[in-house]
Amino acid sequence: MAKGVQFERAAGEQLDDPHVELRAQFRERIRQGTYDALLDPSVRMLLREGAAIRGMDEELGAIRFALAKLLAEELDASKLAAGVARLTSAAVQAMKMGQALGDETDESLADLLNEILIDLEKESQVARAARKEGGGDRAWRQDLELADTG
């Protein structure tokens, strides 16, 4: 089956995915053509409250939690190494962002965000190239090499 191709289902056929209705609702919100329509009012309010919080404490906590879970549950060495490399990179970036927030200069924060986006794009390109070459654990090794040169 080709990736991304959708086939019509018979009228009485049950859907295996319980999230189909949620996806359809979201697509309908997208068709409305406004950003405010994408989110429920309660979710929008929570996001705005979260955006008002200065600092990166919660984000760093979430990254540390994810790292602990990964270390405890992942048995595949290449997946573990790739996950640790990515989470560590995210933690460093969050710490840099926290430092920039402490500086309270919009220009330094914008520069840092731009740098993070460039780094993420480089990592994504390396991972795509490794997957294209079919190199299983090659992706995390290339990520580490990229981090060493950055």
Q: What are phi and psi of 104, to 5 degrees?
A: 55, 35
Using alpha carbons, select from 71, 93, 86, 75 the residue that is nearest to residue 140.
Answer: 86
Using alpha carbons, select from 55, 63, 57, 58 the residue that is nearest to residue 101.
Answer: 55
Q: How much is the pTM?
A: 0.42
CA–CA distance, 61 with 67 (Å, rounded to integer): 10
User: What tokens does 83 get?
Assistant: 């996950």
Q: What is the DSSP string of 67-119?
A: HHHHHHH---HHHHHHHHHHHHHHHHHHHHHHHHHHHT-HHHHHHHHHHHHHH
CA–CA distance, 80 with 77 (Å, rounded to integer): 5
Measure the CA angle with vertex 39, ends 67 and 123; round to 5°.
35
Does the pLDDT value for residue 3 go beyond 80?
no
Confidence (pLDDT) at 2: 47
Predicted confidence (pLDDT) per residue in 102-139, tens digit: 665 566 666 767 777 788 888 878 877 777 776 555 54
Predicted confidence (pLDDT) per residue in 79-91, tens digit: 999 999 999 998 8
